[in-house]
Every structure is written in C-alpha cells, then in structure tokens.
Structure 1
Amino acid sequence: MSVFRTPQVILLSDDLPRAVDFYRRLGFTETFRVPTDGEPTHVDLVLDGYKIGIASAASTRDDHGLDPVTDGHRAAVILWTDDTAAAYEALVAGGAPARASPYAWLGRLLIAWTADPDGHPLQIVQPLTRPARAQR
C-alpha cells in the first residue's frame, strides 16, 4: 500500500477568477496556478497551512474527461476564528449570502454559515470559553 501525504480539497467552479478572489479576501494566499499566464484552469491557495484548490468545471470536463457537478452543497469549507459574529457580519456585508447567523452548538462552539460565490458552504466556527450571545 502506498503512503499518502499532503491532503487537499479541490472545489469546482464555473467562475474560477471570482472564486479565487473570494478566498484571497479571506486571507488565503495563492501558491500554484495553471497556466501561469492567461486565464487559469486551476489555482491552489493556502491559509494557516491548509491548502484548497479551485479548478474550473470546464477544465475538469474537457481536460480530464469527467462530468463535474457544479451545483448544490458538495463540500464545505470550515474556517476557525476568534470572533464568529464579527467574521460572519463582515462576510455578509461583503456580499456572501446569509445562510445561518451565529448560534451555539454543543455548548462548546459558536457557528455561523455563509457560502462562497459558487455556493460551497462556509462554516465559521469559534470555540466557546463562556456562554455565547447568539444572534438568532
């Protein structure tokens, strides 16, 4: 059996430049792009050691012969923070959809939900050290 390393999630996008711009605004840094010049078909970004890739649905179909699904909730990106309410408010004010305002979960976490431009759910999570003031 082979040994695996460096796992990564690839999100499919119908508008790759828009998706890359969204994740850059969240603090992700671009680490890889194909092609290096012109309209990209795949971009990798990293935040705090975690890498995600964004690939164009057209490239996935045309270059790899797959039939990608680009709608619905296919994956979720989880972002930990020290202030879920403030992060959620900033994302929504910046145009992200308001899916679920901050609420306490399991008595240990404060969670909110929004989405990236392609509809992938984004869960904003904060560990609670004292009772939460949920906005619900």
Structure 2
Amino acid sequence: MFRSPQVVLFTRRIEAAAAFYRALGFIEVFREPAEGKAVHVDLELDGYRIGLATERSAREDHWLEPVASGQRAVVVLWTDDVRAGFDRLLELGAQPVHEPSVWLDRLLIAWLTDPDGHLLQVVQDLSTG
C-alpha cells in the first residue's frame, strides 16, 4: 500500500541546504524545476530520501503553512565514528548543539543543526565495535 517513505524539510535557502546535504554524500535525485531556481530538491543516501522544499512553494503551490525554523524534526545520520562525523558537519557549516556523549551505555550521540536550523543527530552504536 505504501512505499518509499521520505522526510521533506522546509527551507528558506534551498541551494545552500542542498549543497550541505550533497557534501555529506547525499546524491541529488530530483529537482523542480530542472533548470533555474529550484523550489524542491530530493537527495538520497543509502536508499533514504530527504526532500527540501521552499517555504514559498509550500504556501503558494500546496496551500500549506510551513515552519522552517525551530526543532520540528531531526535528520539522523548513523556512523562508525561520531567524533569524526561531528567534526565534518562543523566543517560544512553545521552548528553544534551537544558534543558527543554516551546514551544508554551503548550509543554515542552528538547533536547539531544544519544551516537552516534543522536538528541533526549523529549516532554510533558502541556495542558493535
């Protein structure tokens, strides 16, 4: 019945947001319009898709009242090295929220925000290594 779930994040700066996620290894798989200033971009990493949509398009094309600020959702990025991932995200312009710390005695977790202020959680399973 359902398939291919994804999350769409509303943004005020779609090109900067898309560049940020591409720098993390996401591959752009959809852009509307194909030429010129985008109103929607989909990016994929390991079979998971994130969409980016402009606030304006959400309002004018879909009659929504989008929120592009605040902690309304989180993009979770699993890794084998949270500290290196945290540092890489900082290099790409993410802002730190909480340094890496152990949670539940088996997960190492760090929190940041992307350039639009969306939360990012970087997670490492300490029980597998």
TM range (shorter): over 0.9
CA–CA distance in 2 between the matches of 1:90 and 1:66? 34
Deviation track 1:55-99 (CA, whole Å, cap 9, x = no partner) reads: 011100111111111111111000000000111012123321111
In the alignment, structure 1 segments of 5+ residues that lack a partner are: 132-136
Alignment partner of 1:48 out of 46, 49, 55: 46
- Is the aligned partner of 1:57 residue 2:22? no
CA RMSD after TM alignment: 1.3
CA–CA distance in 2 between the matches of 1:14 and 1:62? 14
Q: TM-score, normalised by structure 2?
A: 0.95
Deviation track 1:92-123 (CA, whole Å, cap 9, x = no partner) reads: 23321111100000011000011111111000
In the alignment, structure 2 segments of 5+ residues that lack a partner are: none
Alignment partner of 2:120 out of 112, 118, 122: 122
Structure 1 residues 1-136: aligned runs within 5 Å: 3-129=1-127
The alignment of Structure 1 onto Structure 2 pairs a total of residues equal to 129
Whichever residue aligns with residue 10 of structure 1, its letter is V
**Stretch deviating more after TM superposition (11-20 or 83-92):** 83-92
CA–CA distance in 2 between the matches of 1:97 and 1:7? 27
Q: Is the 8 A contact 2:9 2:68 kept in 1?
A: no
- Give me the identity figure in percent: 53
Q: TM-score, normalised by structure 1?
A: 0.91
Whichever residue aligns with residue 96 of structure 1, its letter is A
* Partner SS state of residue 98, structure 1: strand
Whichever residue aligns with residue 28 of structure 1, its letter is F
Whichever residue aligns with residue 124 of structure 1, its letter is V
Structure 1 runs (4+) deviating above 3 angstroms are: none
CA drift of 1:130 comes to 7.8
